[in-house]
Amino acid sequence: DIEGGRTTRMTDTKGRSEYSPKVMPKGKTFSTVTVEEDSIQRIWSFPLEKEAKGKVLMSKIDSVGYYEWYHKKRLAMIILTQPFSLQRTHKGKQKPKVMAERIGRCILMQGGTDTLSFVQKETEDDWYIKTWHPLEGNIRKLVRTLPGQEDFCWTPAGELLMGDGEKLYLRNPYEDTNWKEIGEPGVG
């Protein structure tokens, strides 16, 4: 509760750790990447209304690093293969399909759209933010990342933000030809 300054524990787990929580499409549960006692990383779900032990949501798929829901029953995942791969699956079927390889660790829906965005490392020095639309099925190169950076986010206005060291950069992927420094975090 940001206004009240209170926190509420939502998971009750021993011997496990949870990362990357996301409210699931129906809004009644949230999912996490859970590192289990044997170090296997799978997607689990927890109720939103109370502290709970949770349950394995994707029992057939392991080595999940990051993920994003793009439909009420479908998700894209970064699987920790060597190199990392972007895979998609249906929650019930759990038969992943590889979409791309040499993936960074950031995977996000482009705000206000049905388009998934991610970083692909084409070569050691050529990294791009790319997009994939589930209905179209094709992967599109959007913009080159800042050198050596793989974390980004979308602003509500549809612009990209990336950090590099202590500097923050902004880019409209459809209008700008370069990243623009917009200041250091906490300034302006």
What is the per-residue pLDDT across 58-101, written as a single tens digit (0 to 9) for each? 999 999 999 999 999 999 999 999 999 999 999 999 999 999 99
pTM, entire model? 0.88
**CA angle in degrees (0–180, nearest 5) for 151-154-159:** 115
Mean pLDDT, the chain, integer: 92
- Beta carbons of 106 and 94 less than 8 angstroms apart: no
The DSSP bridge partners found for residue 23 are: 30
Nearest to residue 43, comparing CAs of 15, 71, 27, 24?
24
Cα-based distances in Å from 151 to 68, 111, 132: 15, 16, 17
Query: 186 falls in which pLDDT band (50, 70, 90)?
Result: low
- Beta carbons of 88 and 77 less than 8 angstroms apart: yes
Nearest to residue 19, comparing CAs of 39, 43, 37?
43
Dihedrals phi, psi of 25, to nearest 5 degrees: -50, -35
* DSSP 8-class letter at 64: E
Q: What is the dihedral of CA 136, 139, 141, 147, to 10 degrees?
A: 140
Q: Give the pLDDT confidence of 114-125 residue by residue, as tens digits.
A: 899 999 999 999
Q: Rounded to a whole number, what is the distance in angstroms from the first to the last CA of the chain?
A: 25
